[in-house]
Structure 1
Amino acid sequence: MNWLLVIAGAIIGAPLRYLADRTIQSRHDSLFPWGTFTVNVVGCLILGLLTGAVAAGAASSAIRLFVGTGLCGALTTYSTFSYETLRLAEDGTRFCAAADITASVVAGLGAAFTGVALARAIWA
């Protein structure tokens, strides 16, 4: 039964990632991969909020599998982040590559911490 929850979440997360990435990237005329950056940061925020909710007893293990593993697992994408950053570096835009790495790590961790703090504020 657990694997069905993961699959159900991924069925939502994967197309959501694709559509969000394409929509966001089409609105920016730059080499920086704004679409991937955005879905990864949003995924970190959701996962942080979920982690805090589970710790507070406000979310079940089924929700964690559906949202955390399934939806966030398919929504966020480390492989695309790595590929796009490598392409930036290979194309001679090393500053954009370094900015992508730095911004993704800082914003991703910040979003996760923010999510946990929000959960604590809501369910504490």
Structure 2
Amino acid sequence: MKKTYLLNVEGKNRDRLLDAAKHDIRKYVKRERARPLPAEVDFFDFNCRLGSSQETAVEVHFAALFTAIDTLTKDGASQFYAEVVTSHGQRTAKPYDASRDAQAQADADYQDN
């Protein structure tokens, strides 16, 4: 989804337009996550870009997207560009940490005494 949202429209409340834009993004994400996953994919990830225009958009993590929208529009911007593109995510195993196993064993020994 690549879209420019206008926030200063004649006869419409700016805050409602901002809420409608956020709702539109959430609706897109929900629809994408509802699709069946391909066999080699663990989850759907989202690559996001945000800016006042398409040319000035910078990459933003999905978890920080709505906070970034609030920050961008707080100054009274008349529009913002949001790009949310679905990508395939693969889970990776955490690296083995021997010190964590030693700490767990020490905790178990302490509880036994």
Q: Which has the higher strand share?
A: 2
Q: Which has the higher helix share?
A: 1
Higher relative contact order (CA 8 A, sep 6+): 1
Instruction: Tell me, yes or no, whether TM beats 0.5.
Output: no
- What TM-score does the superposition give when structure 1 sets the normalisation length? 0.34
- What TM-score does the superposition give when structure 2 sets the normalisation length? 0.37
Larger Rg: 2
